[in-house]
Amino acid sequence: MHVAGLTNKGLERPRNEDSCFVKTDSDNALLAVADGMGGHRAGNVASDLAIAIAEHFWAGFDRSSPLSAEKARSMVRSLVLEANEQVMAEADNISERRGMGTTFTVGLVCGNRLTIGHIGDSRAYLINDGQIKLLTRDHSLVEQLIDSGQVKPEEAKSHPQRHILTRALGIGPDPQVDIEDLEIEPGSALLFCTDGLTNMVGDEEILAAASKQSDPQLLAEALIELANSRGGFDNITVVVAIGIGGQES
């Protein structure tokens, strides 16, 4: 398995409020992206705190024995909840940081099993056999409007309320976290990203780029360059893992 993570300020924002983390030891990997809430105080601090929890988790990850699916789900949930506690504690302790928050999407790969913890509108994709599949659900007002039939999916990217989140770290002490797990076919690729990519680049375009590039670093660079070529209106973060299960896709 080969991995890479890249974050870019984009062309319009004064600072980068995104953060990311990715590490692998061949059989296992941890991927994480966080997007500090725009318009709130210290969004970059919130995303950095969430990613620091992911780094700490990976540093202490016990690889000595197989990890059951149930245990993996519990560990990933605890990771996300700990990140929320850290963001809230920082906001409580420093008045200038009150109201800060962040999305957080993290994936633990153990062999051919992926466990995802997700809150917000950053995304996780699975790419395999010429297809791309969205593994997460956006926790946003626009997603709710789509579900209720008030907004068409093709209108979402330009909707004036597209940046309003319904869930994020830092909003409250007991966040609702989506936990998903699935078996991944050997040779698959994973792509985690913030909405600075997906608001500019469509899923099929991501798939087309992935089909042309087997180097995760070069793929991340190509996707960020594409988002910036479309205006780069937001921070852009891409984390990629290629060749899960020991085979390159």
Residue boundaries of the structural domains of the chain: 2-242
Pick from 116, 118, 167: which is nearest to 140 by CA?
167
CB atoms < 10 A from the CB of 63, how many? 10
In Å, how far are 5, 34, 150, 210, 239 from 213, measured between CA atoms?
15, 24, 38, 5, 14
**Which residues, in sequence order, are bridge partners of residue 6?**
238
Check residue 249 and give its pLDDT: 39
What is the spatial distance between Cα 42 and Cα 60, in angstroms, rounded to a whole number? 28
pLDDT value of residue 94? 85
Query: Which fold does the domain 2-242 belong to in CATH?
Result: Phosphatase 2c; domain 1 (3.60.40)
The pLDDT profile of the chain, 249 residues, written as one tens digit per residue, is 999 999 999 999 999 999 999 999 978 999 999 999 855 668 999 999 999 999 999 999 988 888 999 999 999 999 999 999 999 999 888 888 888 999 999 999 999 999 999 999 999 999 999 999 999 999 876 666 666 766 666 556 665 566 778 999 999 998 999 999 999 999 999 999 999 999 999 999 999 999 999 999 999 999 999 999 999 999 999 999 999 865 543
What amino acid is encoded at 65 in this protein?
Answer: S
Cα–Cα distance, 217 to 242 (Å, whole number)? 10
